[in-house]
A and B are shown apart, each in its own frame.
Chain A
Amino acid sequence: MKILFDRIDEPGLNTLAVYERRGGYEALRKALLEMTPEEVLSNLMDSGIRGRGGAGFQMGRKISFLPHGDMDKYLVCNADESEPGTFKDRELMQKSPHMLIEGIIIAAYAGEISRSFIYIRGEYDHQADILEAAIAEAQEAGYLGERILGSDHSLSLVLHRGAGAYICGEETGLLDSLEGKRGNPRLKPPFPAIEGLYHGPTLINNVETLSTVPAIIRMGGTKYAELGVQTSTGTKLVSVSGDVQKPGNYEIELGIPSREIIYGLAGGPQEGHEVKFWFPGGSSSPVLTKDDLDLPYDFDSMAKAGSMLGSGAIIVVDDTHTVLEVALKVAKFYAHESCGKCVPCREGTNWTVKMLERIQSGEATPMDLDIMASVQEQIIGNCLCVLGDAMAMPIGSMVEKFRSELEDEIEAARERAGGAELDDVIPIGVADEHAGPYPVH
């Protein structure tokens, strides 16, 4: 069942003419002319659709948190797709921009919102051009602007290009960036639904979530909820990358076995190799191993396995790579992208990089792994946003699941470096000014 990717490669689908010929903007007509905002909202509630950006929060409930009444409310579409491994929104925006615009208009109607923005990452230049052209077309055709299709609903839509910062994908960092500031996350609460952009109530949703809205209205919420499994309804785009033969975006029904995605659709690792571990939801999700391949791919099963579905970005690592090299990549990325506002994240990410580099250079001892694990624990939950957690969770899971490999790596690196024997190291806890995992030379 293809909802988002239905004939997505059709040439010209980015233009209004082709989109309308295929029944585009019919859902909008239905919502605005035949339904009240409450009915639209109840359809979204019934659909059970959970946010596709990473947190997996129910979209309908998010809209229901918005206060009612006459005030400036905002809808922001988060198109700052920067979670490593994720590239689904890129394909959607490039090939079917009107589906997103239609979804935004309907969602705004449900939340009685009159101003909307798309925050697209600055690197997506081609996609931004396509969206800009599509917005102009929609405006021309009367789908945006005052009194859309003769209803009482008015909506403006502005495309905003970012300038390269991972943290702007975090919703409050994104809001600060959209207000023209450095993209620093804000303290929550107040949550954006109460006080967000320009201090007004703000609904923030991912591109994929909003793009699904027209289909939900067309099918009806309960019908949509029949797809997928009970707590993870509908279809989901998964971006499969890394050591697979056919990387790319695939639209799946939630709840199919993970093996089906990695081996069935993406072809699995190259001949003669096998999956060593995989990130089920972008680089910030705790890794799973090849023993977890038979788990159903949905929000709850991933959470039960100690990881998360996140943005639906599966990164596969095969047996030709060491855990250390992947861990170092992950840690360096988050250390670079930390905005520096919260100490546990700013320092924790940098210390993790240093500790991993110590392993590589042969200066580390197995005790470093304990320290590393404890650093991760001290990051989680102690910052304004989840960027620090996003490093701590995968690194923590790698240390836990591949401890013996990391210990072997420590040994091997020490030997390569001609380092001191382990006996020469003063263990932690020895009351001495040299106490610490440092070799005594």
Chain B
Amino acid sequence: MSATGRRPVPRFGHGSRVPGWDEAVDLTKDPATVPDPATTPVPPGLRETIEAAMAKYPDRRSAAIPALHAAQEVYGWCSPQAIDEVAAVMQLTPAYLTSVATFYDMFSTVPKPRNDVYVCTNISCSLLGADEFFAAMVAAAEGDPDVSVRSFECLGACDIAPMASVNGEYVGPLDLDDAPRIVEDLRAGRAVLEHKQLRYRRCADPEVAEEETDFGPPDRDATEMTDTAGLGPEGDTEDRPGPTAAIEMTDDQLAEHPEPDAHTDQDKHPAGEGPEEAE
């Protein structure tokens, strides 16, 4: 993702530039201090999430990653404003949080589209054609402002290679025709490639099935696939990393947060269309 055109340089509240943007850090400015909670408004939903996370650990800093996940959910990316707000709640410097946000692949310190497609291009997947699929996926999503496609390191699903993670949902094995289908499903707001989702996949070990006798084996003919966990896709969108579940903000808060993405970040996620055939 490259910054195109002339965007205003994002700055922390007190004026210094956000490192990792398209210009070097401004060394003439002092580093940002811990934001004053009194003057840094934070959406209540976000504040509660972060405070609940902090309460779980002996050291509040441990909540940095959960807090950044939550902020990224609200703003779509770890914007300077998002980082300022997390810093205000956690009483840490924005620089500290930026150092964390830039280390991990799932955080973005530049604006990104709302849908994430991670295509695994590691060894097992690439042996089975992941690089070709990645190219097809990039082509299919080209020009769509809502879909970000990136190649990702091993996602831990080599049994369905080549595979991709679409907003956290693992799908595979993929062939080249699936690339446009993924984009279509995302645009239509429905479950992505439902028949290829990992959650329905049975264990490969043949002896596992034979020993299912005690409680009656699931009817293999009726259900080619089965969601053994019974957690439909609608059940777990809320805490998924990524801008899929917007934390509700009131109009007042929206006015205080002139974030361009805030309005488009409403929950358009395919809720309630979960697969029912799993019984």
Contacts and interface: CB of A to CB of B under 8 A. Distances in A.
B217 to A, nearest CB: 9
Given A9-B209, A283-B123, A317-B127, A241 B228 contact: no
A163 B203 contact: no
Given A87-B158, A129-B235, A130-B229, A5 B153 contact: no
Interface in A300-316: 313, 315
Interface stretch (B40-48, B62-70, B176-184, B249-257): B62-70
Contacts of B95: none
Contacts of A166: 153
Contacts of B212: 7, 9-10
A333 B153 CA distance: 7
Contacts of B156: 81-82, 86-87, 89-90, 121, 123-124
Interface string A245-281: 0111111000000000000011000000000000100
- Tier of interface size on chain A: 35 or more
Contact of A180 (B100, B152, B205, B241): B100
Contacts of A246: 204
Interface in B187-231: 198-199, 202-209, 211-212, 214-215, 218, 226, 228-231
Given A6-B211, A126-B170, A182-B103, A84 B59 contact: no
B203 A333 contact: no
B185 interface: no
A364 B162 CA distance: 31
Given A82-B156, A163-B104, A126 B58 contact: no
A133 interface: yes
A178 to B, nearest CB: 6
A373 B153 CA distance: 25
B239 interface: yes
A29 interface: no
B62 A8 contact: no
B158 A85 contact: yes
Contacts of A91: 203
A383 to B, nearest CB: 18
Given A87-B158, A161-B66, A183 B103 contact: yes
27 contacts: A2-B211, A6-B211, A8-B208, A9-B203, A9-B209, A9-B226, A11-B218, A84-B122, A84-B158, A90-B157, A95-B228, A122-B65, A124-B156, A125-B169, A125-B236, A126-B168, A126-B169, A129-B235, A160-B66, A162-B65, A163-B107, A182-B103, A242-B123, A242-B158, A317-B127, A326-B127, A329-B126
Contact of B124 (A6, A14, A164, A315): A315
Contact of B106 (A87, A115, A123, A283): A123
A-B pairs, top 5 by smallest CB distance, nearest first, are A248-B204, A241-B158, A164-B105, A163-B104, A180-B64
A83 B207 CA distance: 26
Counting chain A CB atoms within 10 Å of each CB, the highest count among B152, B215, B226, B228 belongs to B228
A91 B58 CA distance: 30
A422 B17 CA distance: 51
A426 B236 CA distance: 62
Interface of A: 2, 5-15, 18, 22, 72, 81-87, 89-91, 94-95, 115, 121-126, 129-130, 132-133, 158, 160-166, 177-183, 198, 239, 241-243, 246-251, 265-266, 279, 283, 313, 315, 317, 321, 325-326, 329-330, 333, 336-337, 339
Given A5-B208, A6-B211, A126-B168, A177 B65 contact: yes
A2 B208 contact: yes
Given A10-B215, A180-B100, A239 B158 contact: yes
Contacts of A339: 103
Nearest to B92: A180
A122 B69 contact: yes
A181 B203 contact: no
B214 A7 contact: yes
Contact of A239 (B65, B152, B159, B239): B159
Contacts of B169: 125-126
Nearest to B57: A158
B252 to A, nearest CB: 31
Interface in B238-267: 239-241
B204 to A, nearest CB: 2
B205 A249 contact: yes
A165 B104 contact: yes
A248 B68 contact: no
A283 B125 CA distance: 13
B203 A161 contact: no
A279 B123 CA distance: 11
B245 to A, nearest CB: 12
Contacts of B126: 325, 329
Contacts of B58: 72, 115, 198
A198 B207 CA distance: 43
A321 B127 contact: yes
Contacts of B228: 9-14, 94-95
Given A130-B231, A333-B123, 10 more contacts: A11-B218, A86-B156, A124-B156, A126-B170, A160-B66, A161-B65, A163-B104, A179-B62, A181-B64, A315-B158
A435 B212 CA distance: 68
B110 interface: no
Given A9-B202, A126-B199, A336 B153 contact: yes
Nearest to A15: B230
Contacts of B57: 158, 180
B199 A163 contact: no
B99 interface: yes
Given A7-B212, A180-B65, A241-B124, A122 B154 contact: no
Contacts of A122: 65, 69, 104, 106, 241
Contacts of B63: 180
Nearest to B242: A125
B165 interface: yes
B168 A163 contact: no
Contacts of A243: 127-128
B112 interface: no
A84 B127 contact: no
B61 interface: yes
Contact of A179 (B61, B155, B199, B218): B61
A81 B161 CA distance: 16
Contacts of B154: 82-86, 283, 333
